[in-house]
């Protein structure tokens, strides 16, 4: 079994700790590699390499820095199928989902290429006049100019989840290095090969050694990074439980932090909604990526008589989903990523039954392979907001159906959630849409869109316990997160 190497200073490097995690192909259960979990020495080496690379990289003109990203984008385009196949093997996505996730990563590279414009500061000439020292400038006094520049922070680190192993690291390091920082990535210990490969491709594209480093590990390695004196900022994506710990710990060590966290996303369907679009949107949102998505719509709230036409069609379409290995033609839902995730989903099906919800479709009885981490689409009806399946993030293909008399009642149900990542409304009414947009508590909204994932030019993050920090990832926020402002006041005498 291969123990995965780190990537430090442009080289594959083996630094073992005491423990490893054995990863499997979740579609077959076959072991594929081992991730070192506690190699804290590797963190020290990676941070040292990034620290050494920082002075030259931060002084490299931004136009030259983004040339590397242009080359990298071209290289990624050539490797889409290879990267997608790695994602399918180690994560379990379908091939189409794997390709889609790599393409969304490339979108971030394109956005980062905008650094020469997006990291610009502002200047205001003649913000004041100094007349106390002398009165030149045609007796009016010497003009004073003021400027704010955006400058890189230093060594930044990224800690990423398992569910988008190519895309999520690209929410971070391309913008960080485009703005002149150097970077240490700690990918999920559960499926780190595709992140390792994309990092190696960055070296092939000509990124200088030390600018981007990758260390494997689990919690101990993360905690070592959080406490490291030479790390200036932490960008995290993962569960709320981990994110809260990471936010507090990194902030206590004086670091800039952003934590994009867990979710329990609600979609509201109005009686006037386009029926086909609504059912398609909810099926895709709840069961796409096997529900392992921070934008998974895992609760649907049906207003008024919507349930009469929505529920039968929902169950029919969910039953038609073919579950199997992600690279098998015709399969449209892959396995859960590992055995523990599969067990967690099964246990939530039991919890839903114990809490009194009606099980309309039981994922344990789906037609699916006997080996591997499979569970089929699951639908509970007559769920109430206080039930655990309505309130807790399950992160699997389990959809809860709730019912409300009015739009305002439905919005109130959505706003009861401790999370606020995304919320969706299907309607034909502009008035209803406006009411929803202005009263629902979530950071990303969809109107007649089941998965309103912002493209990279827009910021990505939620509200409430789905996010800790100030600046979101991507968009202009991404550039602001990886730069600090420096104000200069100038007078030429």
Question: What residues are annotated to the active site?
Answer: 294
Residue 245 engages ligand NAD in binding (rule: CB under 6 A): yes
Residue 239 engages ligand NAD in binding (rule: CB under 6 A): yes
Pick 112 or 407: Cβ nearer ligand NAD: 112
The single residue among 154, 238, 335, 475 that binds ligand NAD, judged by CB under 6 A, is 238
Residue 107 engages ligand NAD in binding (rule: CB under 6 A): no
Pick 97 or 189: Cβ nearer ligand NAD: 189
Least distance CB 256 / ligand NAD (angstroms): 18
Q: Which stretch binds ligand NAD (CB under 6 A): 232-240, 320-328, 366-374, 399-407?
A: 232-240
Least distance CB 262 / ligand NAD (angstroms): 3
Q: Which stretch binds ligand NAD (CB under 6 A): 80-88, 153-161, 310-318, 328-336?
A: 153-161
Residue 97 engages ligand NAD in binding (rule: CB under 6 A): no
Residue 173 engages ligand NAD in binding (rule: CB under 6 A): no
Residue 481 engages ligand NAD in binding (rule: CB under 6 A): no
Please tell me the total number of residues recorded for the chain in this structure: 493
The single residue among 84, 263, 379, 404 that binds ligand NAD, judged by CB under 6 A, is 263
Q: What number of chain residues touch ligand NAD (CB under 6 A)?
A: 28
Strand 483-491's sheet: what is its strand order? 122-130, 142-152, 483-491
Would you state the structure tokens that stand for residue 439, as one six-digit string?
Answer: 């009263």
Q: Are 287 and 399 in contact (CB under 8 A)?
A: yes
The single residue among 237, 257, 368, 423 that binds ligand NAD, judged by CB under 6 A, is 237
**CA nearest 386: which of 402, 370, 397?**
402
Torsion of CA 470, 112, 180, 257, to 10 degrees: 20
Residue 443 engages ligand NAD in binding (rule: CB under 6 A): no
Would you state the structure tokens that stand for residue 288, as one six-digit string?
Answer: 């796409």
Report the C-alpha gap between 357 and 201 in whole angstroms.
Answer: 48
The single residue among 62, 115, 242, 399 that binds ligand NAD, judged by CB under 6 A, is 242
Residue 393 engages ligand NAD in binding (rule: CB under 6 A): yes
Least distance CB 278 / ligand NAD (angstroms): 24
Residue 399 engages ligand NAD in binding (rule: CB under 6 A): no
The single residue among 12, 122, 219, 434 that binds ligand NAD, judged by CB under 6 A, is 219
Give the nearest residue (CB) to ligand NAD: 238
- At which residue do the structure tokens 């956005």 appear? 111
Residue 352 engages ligand NAD in binding (rule: CB under 6 A): no
Residue 394 engages ligand NAD in binding (rule: CB under 6 A): no
Residue 380 engages ligand NAD in binding (rule: CB under 6 A): no
Least distance CB 444 / ligand NAD (angstroms): 9
Pick 309 or 463: Cβ nearer ligand NAD: 463
Torsion of CA 382, 424, 455, 187, to 10 degrees: -30
Least distance CB 421 / ligand NAD (angstroms): 6
Least distance CB 21 / ligand NAD (angstroms): 10
Pick 45 or 160: Cβ nearer ligand NAD: 160
Q: In sequence order, what are the residues at sequence separation of 6 or more whose Cβ sits closer than 8 angstroms to the Cβ of residue 114?
A: none
Pick 107 or 189: Cβ nearer ligand NAD: 189
Least distance CB 458 / ligand NAD (angstroms): 13
Report the C-alpha gap between 42 and 53 in whole angstroms.
Answer: 16
Report how far Cα 272 is from the mean position of its chain's Cα atoms.
33
Residue 486 engages ligand NAD in binding (rule: CB under 6 A): no
Binding positions for ligand NAD, rule: CB under 6 A: 159-163, 168, 186, 188-189, 218-219, 222-223, 237-239, 242, 245, 260-263, 294, 393, 395, 421, 462, 466
């Amino acid at each position: 079994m291969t123990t995965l190497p780190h990537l430090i200073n442009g080289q594959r490097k083996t630094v073992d700790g005491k423990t490893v995690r054995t990863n499997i192909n979740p579609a077959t259960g076959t072991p594929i590699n081992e991730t070192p979990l506690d190699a804290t020495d590797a963190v020290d080496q990676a941070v040292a390499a990034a620290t050494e690379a920082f002075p030259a990289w931060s002084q490299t003109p931004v136009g030259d820095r983004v040339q590397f990203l242009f080359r990298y984008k071209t290289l990624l385009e050539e490797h889409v199928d290879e990267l997608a196949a790695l994602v399918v093997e180690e994560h379990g996505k379908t091939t189409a989902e794997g390709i889609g996730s790599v393409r969304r990563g490339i979108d971030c590279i394109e956005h980062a290429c905008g650094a020469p414009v997006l990291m610009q500061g502002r200047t205001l000439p003649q913000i004041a006049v100094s007349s106390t020292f002398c009165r030149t400038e045609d007796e009016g006094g010497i003009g004073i100019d003021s400027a704010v520049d955006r400058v890189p922070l230093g060594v930044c680190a990224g800690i990423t989840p398992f569910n988008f192993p190519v895309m999520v690291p690209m929410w971070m390091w391309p913008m960080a290095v485009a703005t002149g920082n150097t970077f240490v990535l700690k990918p999920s210990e559960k499926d780190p090969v595709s992140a390792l490969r994309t990092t190696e491709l960055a070296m092939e594209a000509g990124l200088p050694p030390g600018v981007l480093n990758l260390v494997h590990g689990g919690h101990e390695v993360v905690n070592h990074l959080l406490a490291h004196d030479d790390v200036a900022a932490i960008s995290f994506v993962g569960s709320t439980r981990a994110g809260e710990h990471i936010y507090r710990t990194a902030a206590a060590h004086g670091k800039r932090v952003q934590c994009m966290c867990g979710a329990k996303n609600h979609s509201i369907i109005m009686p006037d909604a386009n029926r086909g679009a609504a059912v398609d949107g909810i099926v895709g949102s709840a069961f796409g990526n096997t529900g392992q998505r921070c934008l998974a719509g895992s609760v649907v709230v049906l207003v008024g008589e919507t349930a009469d036409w929505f529920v039968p069609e929902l169950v029919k379409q969910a039953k038609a989903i073919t579950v199997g290995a992600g690279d098998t033609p015709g399969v449209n839902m892959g396995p859960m990523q590992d055995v523990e995730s599969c067990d967690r989903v099964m246990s939530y099906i039991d919890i839903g039954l114990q809490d009194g919800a009606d099980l309309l479709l039981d994922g344990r009885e789906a037609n699916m392979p006997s080996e591997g981490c499979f569970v089929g689409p699951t639908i509970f009806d007559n769920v109430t907001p206080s039930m655990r399946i309505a309130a807790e993030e399950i992160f699997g293909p389990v959809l809860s159906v709730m019912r409300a008399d009015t739009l305002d009642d439905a919005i109130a149900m959505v706003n009861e959630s401790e999370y606020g990542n995304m919320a969706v409304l299907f309607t034909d009414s502009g008035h209803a849409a406006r009411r929803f947009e202005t009263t629902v508590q979530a950071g990303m909204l969809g109107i007649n869109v089941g998965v309103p994932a912002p493209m990279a030019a827009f910021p990505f993050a939620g509200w409430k316990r789905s996010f800790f920090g100030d600046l979101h990832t991507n968009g202009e926020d991404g550039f602001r997160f990886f730069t600090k402002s420096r104000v200069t006041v100038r007078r030429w005498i």
